[in-house]
Chain A
Amino acid sequence: MHHEEVFTDRNVSEHSAYYYVDIENYPVTGWDKFKQVVKRAAKGELFVGLWVVMREMIKFDIHTVQYPKEKLPIGPRYRAVHKLLRLWESGYERCIGCGLCEKICISDCIRMDTRIDENSRKEVTEYSINLGRCIFCGYCAEVCPELAIVHGGRYENGSEQRAHFVIKDDMLTPLDLLTAGEQSEYPGFGAIIPGSDASVKKTPLAY
């Protein structure tokens, strides 16, 4: 029986989508319980189930996702394992090492090492996130002023230890994927709000 659910009316009545399920009373005495067991065993309910499986197997028309061979697509704003992006034109790392993600992280799982490089720029030599502590809140992506750290779609976090880390090499877009155009912008936390330009006042320039 198909019910069209009218969720606005939650009173159980003839006209509502809700109805009482007809459930037999539970057996109380030992004898009644024994009768129920015998009745169910003789009915062959087990074979009903086995037959359904058998029938579907023979049909070769399976609807389950073949995980891990197949994965369902997830929402673009889903917050899974982080990625570090590169600048589109130059291929430089977007991360400037400001440390805001490290500061804002409420589970204190981000750490980075920085130094001054040969061009007197701040270089991020190492970056690590302890996924065993990360709660995937998205604050790091939101606070990042360079849209450098974002969330990706990789959600498998199984590991042998409670603490397990991703480091810079794991997260940074490889240069070949960048040139192949396979780096994607993240529309979730921290992305530019459409129409932001309108709310910014221009600074005068004397040129």
Chain B
Amino acid sequence: MNEITITIDGRTVQTQEGEYILNAARANGIFIPAICYLTRCSPTLACRICLVEADGKQVYACNAKAKQGMEITTTTPNIESERRAIMEVYDVNHPLECGVCDQSGECELQNYTLEMGVDQQTYAIKDTHKPAQDWGLIHYDPALCIMCERCITVCKDMIGDAALSTVARGSDPIEAAFKESMPKDAYAMWNKLNKSLISPNAGDTLDCTNCGECTSVCPVGALVSSDYQYTSNAWEHKQIPATCAHCSAGCQLSYDIKHTSVENPESKIYRVKNEWNYVSLCGAGRYGYDFENKNVTKDAVAFDAAIAAFKQADTIAFTSTITNEEALILQRLKEKFGYRLINEEARAFKSFLNAYSAVSGTSLYGGDLGEVHASDFVVSIGSALKTDNPNARFAMNNALSMNKGAGLYFHPINDPVIAGMSKSVTQFNHAPMMEEAALYLILDLFADKAAMPSSVSEYLAGFHSTKTVTVEETVDEKVTETVVKKVLNEETGVEEEVSEEVTKTVKKKVSKEVEVDENALFALLNAPAGFSDTLTKYLAKKERFSLMVGPDLYTHPNASNCARLVALIEKYTQFSVTMIPNLSNTLGVAMICDLDSERGSYTIGYNTAGNFTLSALGGGDLDMPALNQQEGTLTNIDKRVNPTNAALSFSGYVLNDIANALGLSSKYTVDYTAQLPKQAGFKATCFDALPNHYTNSGEEVRGYRLDIQTVTVDTDENVTPFDADKAINENVVYLANPVLQFSPFTAASHQLQENGGLYVSKTFMESNSWNEGDRVNVKTARGELSLNVIADGKIEGDIAYLPTFDTAINSEALFDGYRFACVSIQKV
């Protein structure tokens, strides 16, 4: 990409070659009206309002690329008349219900109607009957829809569900006289608008992962959250900038708060909003917002009991849904009183990181989701991507659809959502325990074999064999024939026969014996037939490679070998590597706390079981604030330390109060922000100095990034071979959550309340002749559970999974660390 200079309205602007004019203008604070364009997605050309003049020619700013020296004018009299006509057309038959519309003034139709000075209407068409539709969490009112198609665009280019498309509106044709009388682009836009409406592909209702991003991008009130409908006006809300508490993506969002009702002045979160041009939320982030610990008061008796328990305890067990500051408090308590800190998933992640560092020489992985967005070849290994980290899935989908990318997805569970992303994505539904083989395959396909340790190269060479296959090929064959022609001899006037040689090309089928290379890893990983050809196609013109590795690897019995392989991939291939931390702040906890493996005799459980429990979910021995009631920082997958603010007040005791009572001294929890360990890459920045916003050019200005430290490396880069016999081929159960759930906190919010069970694919349910709600006994080597069967339409195949979000189901007890286990399922 080259830096170029263009001129917009007389202002000289620096931008990248190939950047859209609209984005270049926006990045430099120049206003060009646009409705249908979404940053990071493909131009739709539905609204045509971004019309500008570039070098004397009218172009659409959203899809015209900037060229060196381009002179751009954003308004001319003709463009102004087009824009005004377009806005008039949008206003034709638009219901006059702005007073009750949920967009309540945050309406782009309203804004641009005023901006273009529409004060009277010229156009008219007979209206059609368009009843409102209920799509579950989402409500669609087609009467308000202006057909900008942003919902369709974001669903396809960003989310990857492609659950929406246009259907016929069934309206009258536009009066012929308008074609002559109205501006050209306005007519074309009206013509398109008049033909279509939005509709779910699944028929009457949506079949998708319910991220609700379509409601977020809707410029009018056509798509809104069903729960929010008519409950409040946007301007009544105070927006609390925060970081989503549910997964490691740590998306920026704002909690919209207002008093609960006329009677109750307590604040309540009404909805969640996001900067949809720069960050997309999943459904858990958007709908799982009211997980606060309600009605808590300062219970001095419980607090004294807690202090007594801390004095008695020798162990603190906790989960990673805590802030960095709380993690530091726990670490300080450990340093002072010698507590053992127990957090198994963070410890697994930490030892994975350490094993990785021993080969790579860096404390942290080099990639992030921004890098994935920019890639054109994305590989995911060891993660149920759509539920482990929805934003990682969005990033992969965005890369595939916007960069003409291709992708490989290695996971035992077949995921129709991944398959639906693009034609250029291949799923390897390998057996559990074969993750190392997948990592070896990446090394085999992409590594610089000469630079790699020879032992690895030799090991990989062992999987290759040459096979002779008979191929039928069509070959062009040149045939030379002698043709006799009659030519008139001009001198004599007599026809003479002349023989001439003519060369012809003839297509001929030839069967040929060819020696091909056979890669045994393909078969071991259940690659689809003909994958090597597919791969060749995928790899054409690819420049940026990204690898995402997930939690399946961290708890893998050979986790440290997996980590070393990941480091080798980062070192000897072009791949940038991103690791997906399990929970919201797993990375932060792993960087801050020294974690232990063995519990002592008396355990304090923080959001987890213990002899004395501190709980942000309620029902513990002492109530703690949930993450929407606390300020602090969370470390996300992008290695970014993001600030989050308290949306709701909390009147009970916090961990800092306990720490103060035990002898630490800090007025506020956030006083610890500046004290986060420097040697782990944190900076000595105080909480109030941390920014939390995006710039107009889309730059993420949130908190700060962890510094990556240099680590002393092992002298050898040895990795051990994998054992294909360890593969678990049948009766497998997985530990994962369904779409929209991450933890008990998501299930605590009123829109996402549900009970867990044994989740199985529809085909698996049919083949066992189970019905939804049937009771089954799920038995592994470590225990047994009696559960209801729940059908999950978003998985395929014969692997069932158990959730972790339902506190009534202790799924973890059935697993031996690793997320897969051998299982027997019996119907009761």
Contact = CB atoms under 8 A, between A and B. Distances in A.
Interface of A: 96-100, 102-103, 111-116, 120-123, 126-128, 145-146, 167, 201, 203-207
B124 A206 contact: yes
A96 B261 CA distance: 17
Contacts of B124: 203-206
Contacts of B458: none
Contacts of B57: none
A122 B172 CA distance: 31
A59 to B, nearest CB: 54
Nearest to B235: A103
B373 to A, nearest CB: 37
Interface stretch (B26-34, B225-233, B439-447, B664-672): B225-233
Given A96-B99, A99-B104, A113-B262, A204 B121 contact: yes
Nearest to A116: B230
Interface in B361-383: none
B99 A98 contact: yes
Nearest to B227: A116
29 contacts: A96-B99, A97-B230, A99-B104, A99-B233, A102-B236, A103-B235, A103-B236, A111-B259, A113-B261, A114-B230, A114-B231, A115-B230, A115-B231, A116-B231, A120-B132, A122-B100, A122-B230, A123-B230, A126-B262, A128-B262, A145-B99, A146-B99, A167-B262, A203-B121, A203-B124, A204-B121, A204-B124, A205-B124, A206-B125
A103 B233 contact: yes
A11 to B, nearest CB: 55
B93 to A, nearest CB: 9
B122 interface: yes
B478 interface: no
Contacts of A204: 121-124
Given A97-B100, A98-B99, A114 B261 contact: no
B601 interface: no
B644 to A, nearest CB: 29
B99 A201 contact: no
Contacts of A205: 124
B234 to A, nearest CB: 10
A126 B230 contact: no
A145 B98 CA distance: 11
Interface in B78-125: 99-100, 104, 119-125
A164 to B, nearest CB: 14
Q: Tell which of A99, A114, A127 has the most Cβ of chain B within 10 Å.
A: A99
A121 B230 CA distance: 8
A207 to B, nearest CB: 6
Contacts of A97: 100, 230
Nearest to A110: B262
Contacts of B99: 96, 98, 100, 145-146
Contacts of B129: none
A98 B175 CA distance: 35
Contact of A96 (B100, B119, B121, B123): B100
A171 to B, nearest CB: 13
Contacts of B229: 116
Nearest to A123: B230
Contacts of A100: 99
